[in-house]
Amino acid sequence: MKLTYQTGKDDKAHYLYIKGDLIGDEVGPKLVEVVSDAIQEGAKTFVIDLSEVRYISSSGIGLLITMLTKMRNVDGEVYLTSPSDHVKKLLIITKLNNIFTVFDSIEDFRNQ
């Protein structure tokens, strides 16, 4: 399934809503650019909504880590929200659940 995405922001964070399979294809650099643009705007909090992501490849994992590294380099943070059970298992297997803070929903993030 081709990856599409939307962005948004409010007073708490910049948001990236990903839909499809996160496999680090030609959309990958654009996603990193979204984070870079947010940093340019002074963002310190970036939320990636995974509710519509069915599959993440190793390249997709690399993308997430690249985005996290970029944010942490400016003392920012990336949060993941709404992973499917399949994606949740992947985060646990790869130990990414220890690196990223994961929320069950965007509402949970906003209410923290």
pLDDT at residue number 73: 98
**Which pLDDT band holds residue 24 (cuts at 50, 70, 90)?**
confident
Mean pLDDT of 62-84: 97
Residues of the chain with pLDDT > 90: what percent? 92
| pLDDT for 60 beyond 90 | yes
The whole-model pTM stands at: 0.95
Query: Hey, what CATH topology would domain 4-110 get?
Result: Transcription Regulator spoIIAA (3.30.750)
With contact defined as beta carbons under 8 Å apart, do 1 and 20 qualify?
A: yes
pLDDT at residue number 18: 96
Q: Report the C-alpha gap between 109 and 93 in whole angstroms.
A: 23
Tens of pLDDT, residues 102-111: 999 999 999 9
Domain positions in the chain: 4-110
> What phi-psi label fits residue 50: left (phi over 0), alpha (psi between -120 and 50 degrees) or beta?
alpha
> What are the start-end ranges of the E strands in the chain?
4-9, 14-22, 45-56, 77-81, 101-103
pLDDT at residue number 79: 98
| pLDDT for 51 beyond 80 | yes
